[in-house]
Structure 1
Amino acid sequence: VPDQDERAAELSREQNEKTIRSTQTALRNFREFLISKYPSETREIYVIPCKELDAYLASFFVDARQKDGSEYEPNSLANYQCGLERYLKEHRYGYSITRDKEFKRSQEALKQKQIELRCKGKGNKPHKSMKLTFADELILRKSLVWLNNTKAFGHCTGFHGSTLKWGDIRLRVTETGLEYLEWMGPDNGDVNAKSKRGGTDSRVYATQHSPQTCPVQDYKEYAQRRPPAMRYEDAPFYLSIKPVVNLAALHWYNCQALGKNKLAKMVKTMCEKGNIPGRKTN
């Protein structure tokens, strides 16, 4: 039928135009980010080697902000990744930034950032009428500390969530009064890792301009809610939650380590509580 064919053609054109605009927006925002953070990088992105481009993308997904300084929505970051994928494919780039292992770093950065944003209330939640219980909040609070630790210290030699001790991460203050967390865990005899001890690779600093997303504030809140008996250096870092607890209680956690199975399912739990669709793993 001619009318149906014309309508189908019109819808196809509209969809193509929408896809083109989406690709252009992703490319423009990524280029603006590169100019602001890496001003010496002037190459077209389709000629940048995969290792360098992967690092740029990981930085973009973690640090990029909108023009008003606010963070992007989780879905926006995923759309940007898809838009850049289309652009690179058009220019016959040799890798897929969404699938290939050469871009694992940026893929993980995007996944972790989406989880972080969802935990902090960003994104369109499909079940708005389903309010989080206080128990859910506790799970997300602890999950956020786990996420902060993994992002900041996951690259450090000897970092293992299931064996992490309270003394492995220390709260410190610089000479100028800026608080930071420092990885003090075992180096497992790695000479290169030892040389990094005390360097910026083993530290994460407070974000004073954004206390709601500050890893140091999350750590201090978690420390305050731990039982005093579990604040010694060799105590397990992650503790199980008390079965019955309320906001008035000073301590929200047991004197018992979080089980390995629950720790292994941390990302899945965060996604379920934060209404993030899709299959996610640690």
Structure 2
Amino acid sequence: MKRFADLSREEIETKRRLLTPTTTQKATTSAAKVFWDYLAEKGKPVSFEQYEKKELDAALSSFYIEARTKTGEIYKKKTSLDAVRYGINRHLKSSPQNKDFDILTDPSFASSNEMFKVAVREIKAQGKAAIIHHPPLSDIDRNKLYNSIYLSQATPTGLYNKVQFDTRYYFCRRGAENMHTMTKDTFEVKLDANTGRQYLYKKDELTKNNRDDSEGYSGFMPATGTHDCPVSTFLKYIEKLHPESERLWCYPRDSFHDEDTTWYTCKPVGKHGLQQFLPKLSKQCGLSQIYTNDSCNKCYCPPPS
């Protein structure tokens, strides 16, 4: 009996591909397809994987400046064109191409990288890269949310939704791209010396000295003394989180009892799940429109002095 396995090249490559997340593989294939479609429309050989560096650089130079969406429109954001560019690079490096060069950094692609910068400037010049203004959550829809079963404090899912909505409403200015990094220690409860009421604040806010906050957090969450007090529900949520997990946003258990000390699993909610928070709630609660997470917060709440 042989001691070591005898794998074919195909089997080895299959195992290598399994290391790459499915979403990344799809994004890579999608980016390559955009370039294939472009070359086909221009009457050029579509197998850009076989191009020499000089030929590929020239093709990419024209592609970046002429790239359009499926509807023939210029890309609305730099990140969209970025995704295509990075995807093409991954495609070239992956099996079976296995290219040993990088179209983002190799000096041989100086011309195409310069044209990419030109394309980005064109996007901005046409106003397509401007900040998208999201409609604020209306008072009617906000009340509808709070009165729905989906924000009920009596269930793990409802409590999770209630606390996350309150957190976004009081603290997050830009949809909170980094909510997935929050832990149980991200926020702390303090006592307002003037009113004697509790309030919640983000710990590192006091160390920022009013400088620009790249994470997009601001304000504080005051206790209201009502049945739906955001501070009280936050504290209840913290108590119900799994003791073996430090992450703040975790999935609810499949089943529970009111008296259970733990309502949540150790599995944290990922970026995608957090990004779909308010859009998903908008559909579930039948709101007047599908809101984005950026619609949660439209004002700055200064902390107590």
Structure with more helix by fraction: 1
Larger Rg: 2
TM-score by length of 2: 0.43
